Structure 1
Amino acid sequence: MSAAVGGAEFHGFGGAAQLPRSRMLGSIRAVSTPLKKDAKEVKRSKVEIIKEKSNFLRYPLNEELVSEAPNVNETAVQLIKFHGSYQQSDREVRGQKNYSFMLRTKNPSGKVPNQTYLAMDTLADEFGIGTLRLTTRQTFQLHGVLKKNLKHVISTVIKNMGSTLGACGDLNRNVLAPAAPYVRKDILFAQETAENIAALLAPQSGAYYDLWVDGEKIMSAEEPPEVTKARNDNSHGTNFPDSPEPIYGTQYLPRKFKIAVTVAGDNSVDILTNDIGVVVVSDSAGEPVGFNLYVGGGMGRTHRIETTFPRLADPLGYVPKEDILYAIKAIVVTQRENGRRDDRRYSRMKYLLDSWGIDKFRAEVEKYYGKKFEDFHPLPEWQFNSYLGWQEQGDGKLFYGVHVDNGRLGGQAKKTLREIIEKYSLDVSITPNQNLILCGVDQAWREPITAALAQAGLLEPKDVDLLNITSMACPALPLCPLAQTEAERGILPILKRIRAVFDKVGIKDEESVVVRITGCPNGCARPYMAEVGFVGDGPNSYQIWLGGTPNQTTLAETFMNKVKLQDIEKVLEPLFSYWNSTRQEGESFGSFTNRMGFEQLKEVVNKWEGSASAA
């Protein structure tokens, strides 16, 4: 796609040769402005054509949904993502594909009303596989829904205060924020900001409601006026006038877009892995006054293509709190206009940042923002917060963070949680570490809730191995079509093996490392931020990544490729033994590996002949 700049056609990153910077300062036209007849056609991926011809995400999905087939065609597969669903099949069932659909909800800051939770729990039993999956972006995933039941399931979600709109697809995904229900100015402001950003960037065409609830107007909270004002403002050429999608147009974004909001010091959201990281800045009295912004983070990559890579976000600048929606919109529009649309492997905003550099990117965003960004405000060191166990909310009530291995709720644990949530009319919140928070608990309910959870096998955090507390895994096999090996089903045995290695080399029970596992290189469980990341690169085979840190501020690097599942101790035992005997006081494993360097560590692995004394 192209935008007219200074009377010429400027082809964004990845298109034709770019104009000199001196000629890129004129007025900017939006991406779906018709090209001149003699303009050279810019190469676009097939998904771009599908979006353009879809009548704002309707066609041919509307026809495919009413066909007798158990699946939808490839064009509709691309469109249904925007509605919050992926078509899948069980890869372990041979013969004809048994199609089903995975649904993902949209829950800004992870908030889930009581009514929505109970509806999701029921839908999982009646139309899914009997489990609910808590995700790394604070949402639910519901697996195994048949096409014939899709409309009923999605309409039920909508009618119970939920949504799946924009949970997948080439637009802004779920906006993260600290999940803890603390009654604290900065936390509440971060959560409110996440909800406003989600509303600002939600699709507006109405196709979602046309398809799933026959255009019915469902009662919902009225949109804050500042959101409507920011969306409609076209002072700096950001919008498509008279379009059903004033920000997205017919093309939407080049690729998925991820945003997280947090408060100073709280890195429960993996802030640097997002396209935009938003950090609340407060004054000395604790009053929120503005935001620091990071841009250009992202995890996904492709094996054996070194030009694809994970990337940490760069500091962009500071904005006062009243300008945040306009700044976010300006960043999104910069990506909309300049992100690559010819090759989806390079369409994330991180590649635009890598190509342009932060200074050029900032200057381009400032055109759409209409102001200069201020300098970053100082921030304290980041820390990872799990929010598990019993804690005071600050309003006389408690919350309880429930550790859920891999975020998978099923069996007695799922049944007991429903009983508790229903009996006490509790709202819940999903954390970015795949756990669940019970909110607004009266002091008198603490003892019976603790007892019920323990009976269901949901242990208090003090009784859970620290390796499990900080670990994450994506669902992977058998339903994810991209998975090359196990992740969710394999992580618990791997964690037990790591703990056994710890015992063997003399590392104490109260010590841990951050372990994350994905079945493919897309990085949904953010393995490239882990101290030990396992990334599937073949059947029962993993890349091992080392060098992330416990507070998720350092990017790991590939240490070894094609490590077979049965051989992981051959790599990890010498490394953990070396760490235990050589580390500095309080030095994490990730910091240790970065200090020693991979050349030295590989030599240790290659020369290993057996465990050192654990004495």
Structure 2
Amino acid sequence: MSKTTLPDGLAVNEYLKDNSNYLRGTIEESLADQTTGAVADDDTQLTKFHGFYMQDDRDIREERRKQKLEPKHSFMLRARVPGGVSTMEQWLAIDKIADDLTDYGSLRLTTRQTFQYHGILKPNIKPLIQGICKVGLDSIAACGDVNRNVMCNTNPVDSRLHQETYEWSAKISEHLLPKTRAYYEIWLDEEKVADSEADQEPVYGKWYLPRKFKIAVAVPPHNDVDISANDLSFIAIADADGNLEGFNVAVGGGMGSTHGDVETYPQLARILGFIKKEDTLAFAEAVMLVQRDFGNRINRKNARTKYTVDTLGVDKFREETEKRTGIKFEDERPFEFTQQGDRFGWIKGIDNNWHLTLFLEAGRIIDKPGQPIKTGLREIAKVHKGEYRMTANQNIIIANVAEEDKAEIEGMCRKYGLLGEVLSPLMLDSIACVALPTCALAMAESERYLPRLIEKFDVIAEKHGIADQPMVIRMTGCPNGCGRPFLAEIAFVGKGPGKYNMYLGADGRGTRLNQMYKENVGEEEILSTIDSLFEQYSKERESGEGFGDFVVRKGFVNAVYDGREFHA
């Protein structure tokens, strides 16, 4: 590691960023090394800023070790798609790239309202990035210690308000992009900057942020982007005529924690106040700068904005934000969230176009026996005149379908198994992270297991007469929180092979955390517990009472509105 002016005792990543020459590192040398399918250790951290992670297939890791082979290294790349909107030209390119340049030939929609590829071999990374860039997409800052993909309500243009908030999400994303030309030099063969001093980061600085930074834009009453899981959120406020007036600004949300470490916890975003819409970019930058300047650069486990807010206090964080904008927050405007899931089926917009939301199990887009999902979305993209909108709950919307094209689109959806199967409310409101076999952090299954577990829950719900009751159910393979488990009415967080911590008590609106109910349980105990809880819920619930509210009212768990009271 070269000489640095940074003080001793910081997290290792701080020195990596300092010595990276604005995120270049030795990535080009790693790509050229044909003796391994991996990249150099330091570069595995820097490539995240370029949108991809190194992984290996854990299903065959031990077999390869016995054969004295290195792990089967491959890469996961996540795209930057503000608001989750893809044109049909882009989708057809995305689809072809999956076939041509990945081992799995599939796509996966993420809980950050974008798509990612798995199983990319090292020689295919550069052509893949060039492929998505040719259709106006990229993977800049999709990962790493920077602002990541900006999410927005996926209500598909059914009001002027939603369209304008989507446009703000795109503006925020562009405004907070890193300015280094490293991405363009390495992947798009742009001429290299001769003087690195001319390549400085005017907003991020040489050391970027202490940790990742996530932003969401929401339009009440729908909280499908889970504003409380984000470092910074903008909650749209309309005037009397339904036009966007400005935003309530919320800071310090986040889901990640570590099993058994009381110094880590999920947290709900806190509202700083109201801003006018013309000040949105100034406040987005200012909040990020407060986190840049005050965030913990010693312990990465405590480096997210939520801990900065808790350490400084909300009032001090607000003051520092105002100092950087020169503008005072106004008082918070009233709003209410009523649900956090997607709305499935056809919705008609104010422009008389139609929008069809389709459920995708765990967000995986792949052809299955009797359900060629990937083929279906490709064939629809060839004739559809609108766009696809990816949701923050791993689903997809066929947006802006003209009245005269509605029957054709619906017929194609049925032909390819995208529509027609009756799914339970439990399945429709579920989220699972990738977990095994590719995620290095996974302690237990998630994507491959949750749908099968929910099928067993459906049998229990039917037995107790509550099969039509929606419940938000989420599963993750570890406590890092990629699937936002701590905002679910029922959640399972991987603890070890086949074992999960079980959480109950969020409110189905994304405004309350859940709490651990049982620790380190396997399927047999999970099913018996669900059977007992569903029986009591069916007999003792009040009119209109959701499951999360019921378990809190009955004292199974406490209501948690501050992550410092959360017990992992």
Q: Same fold by TM-score, threshold 0.5 exceeded? A: yes
Alignment correspondent of 2:393? 433
Residue 123 of structure 2 corresponds to residue 152 of structure 1: no
- 2:240 is matched with which residue: 284, 289, 294? 284
Alpha-carbon distance in structure 2 between the residues aligned to 1:409 and 1:380:
33
Alignment correspondent of 2:429? 470
Q: Which range is displaced more, 188-197 or 362-371?
A: 362-371
Alignment correspondent of 1:391? 347
**Contact 2:154/2:389 (CA < 8 Å) preserved in 1?**
yes
- 1:422 deviation in Å? 1.2
Distance 1:416 1:42, change over 3 A: same
Report the structure number with the largest CA radius of gyration.
Answer: 1
Residue 20 of structure 2 corresponds to residue 46 of structure 1: no
- 1:445 is matched with which residue: 381, 393, 405? 405
**Contact 1:281/1:289 (CA < 8 Å) preserved in 2?**
yes
Alpha-carbon distance in structure 2 between the residues aligned to 1:324 and 1:34:
35
Alignment correspondent of 1:325? 281
- 1:444 deviation in Å? 2.3
Alpha-carbon distance in structure 1 between the residues aligned to 2:533 and 2:140:
45
Equivalences for residues 220-369 of structure 1 within 5 A:
244-369=200-325
The letter for the 1-side match of 2:523 is: L
Alpha-carbon distance in structure 1 between the residues aligned to 2:360 and 2:191:
36
Alignment correspondent of 2:445? 486
- 1:495 deviation in Å? 0.4
Equivalent residue of 2:32, what SS? coil
- 1:155 deviation in Å? 0.6
**Contact 1:84/1:103 (CA < 8 Å) preserved in 2?**
yes
Equivalent residue of 1:117, what SS? helix
Equivalences for residues 72-221 of structure 1 within 5 A:
72-93=39-60, 94-95=63-64, 96=69, 97-128=71-102, 129-215=104-190
- 1:293 deviation in Å? 0.5
The letter for the 1-side match of 2:527 is: E
Alignment size in residue pairs: 540
- 1:242 deviation in Å? 6.5
- 1:121 deviation in Å? 0.5
- 1:180 deviation in Å? 2.9
- 1:570 deviation in Å? 2.1
Q: Which range is displaced more, 415-424 or 376-385?
A: 376-385
Distance 1:150 1:600, change over 3 A: closer
Alignment correspondent of 1:547? 505
Alpha-carbon distance in structure 1 between the residues aligned to 2:21 and 2:496:
39
Alignment correspondent of 2:563? none
Alpha-carbon distance in structure 1 between the residues aligned to 2:341 and 2:237:
18
The letter for the 2-side match of 1:481 is: A
The letter for the 2-side match of 1:457 is: G
The letter for the 2-side match of 1:497 is: K
Equivalent residue of 2:297, what SS? coil
Alpha-carbon distance in structure 2 between the residues aligned to 1:385 and 1:445:
27
Alpha-carbon distance in structure 2 between the residues aligned to 1:600 and 1:151:
50
Residue 33 of structure 2 corresponds to residue 59 of structure 1: no
- 1:555 deviation in Å? 0.5
Alignment correspondent of 2:359? 403
Alignment correspondent of 2:472? 514
- 1:396 deviation in Å? 2.8
Alpha-carbon distance in structure 2 between the residues aligned to 1:131 and 1:34:
45
The letter for the 2-side match of 1:344 is: R
Equivalent residue of 1:65, what SS? helix
- 1:289 deviation in Å? 1.4
Alignment correspondent of 2:562? none
**Contact 2:178/2:201 (CA < 8 Å) preserved in 1?**
yes
Alpha-carbon distance in structure 1 between the residues aligned to 2:254 and 2:465:
33
- 1:363 deviation in Å? 1.4
- 1:455 deviation in Å? 2.4
Alpha-carbon distance in structure 2 between the residues aligned to 1:418 and 1:58:
35
The letter for the 1-side match of 2:122 is: K
Alpha-carbon distance in structure 1 between the residues aligned to 2:116 and 2:558:
42
**TM-score, normalization by structure 2:** 0.92
**Contact 1:243/1:249 (CA < 8 Å) preserved in 2?**
no
Alpha-carbon distance in structure 1 between the residues aligned to 2:90 and 2:200:
28
The letter for the 2-side match of 1:514 is: V
- 1:473 deviation in Å? 0.3
Equivalent residue of 1:453, what SS? helix
Equivalences for residues 529-548 of structure 1 within 5 A:
529-548=487-506
**Contact 2:179/2:199 (CA < 8 Å) preserved in 1?**
no
Equivalent residue of 2:59, what SS? coil
Percent identity of paired positions between Structure 1 and Structure 2? 39
- 1:587 is matched with which residue: 542, 545, 558? 545
Alpha-carbon distance in structure 1 between the residues aligned to 2:475 and 2:290:
33
**Contact 1:265/1:379 (CA < 8 Å) preserved in 2?**
yes
Alpha-carbon displacement from aligned partner over 1:495-528 (angstroms, at most 9, x marks no partner): 0111111123x22321132110000001111010
Following TM superposition, where does structure 1 have runs of at least 4 consecutive aligned residues deviating by more than 3 angstroms? none
**Contact 1:487/1:518 (CA < 8 Å) preserved in 2?**
yes
Equivalent residue of 1:495, what SS? helix
- 2:461 is matched with which residue: 496, 502, 505? 502
The letter for the 1-side match of 2:397 is: I
Alpha-carbon distance in structure 1 between the residues aligned to 2:109 and 2:558:
39
Alpha-carbon distance in structure 2 between the residues aligned to 1:440 and 1:264:
22
Alpha-carbon displacement from aligned partner over 1:362-421 (angstroms, at most 9, x marks no partner): 112221121221110111343335132112122232121111111101111110110011
- 1:243 deviation in Å? 5.6
Alpha-carbon displacement from aligned partner over 1:262-281 (angstroms, at most 9, x marks no partner): 11322111011110110111
Distance 1:543 1:442, change over 3 A: same
Alignment correspondent of 2:377? 417
Alpha-carbon distance in structure 2 between the residues aligned to 1:381 and 1:417:
31
Q: Which range is displaced more, 417-426 or 273-282?
A: 417-426
Alpha-carbon displacement from aligned partner over 1:203-242 (angstroms, at most 9, x marks no partner): 111111111110179xxxxxxxxxxxxxxxxxxxxxxx97
**Contact 1:108/1:194 (CA < 8 Å) preserved in 2?**
yes
Q: Which range is displaced more, 416-425 or 466-475?
A: 416-425
**Contact 1:548/1:556 (CA < 8 Å) preserved in 2?**
yes
Alpha-carbon displacement from aligned partner over 1:292-341 (angstroms, at most 9, x marks no partner): 00000000001111110000000111111111111111110000001001
The letter for the 2-side match of 1:81 is: K
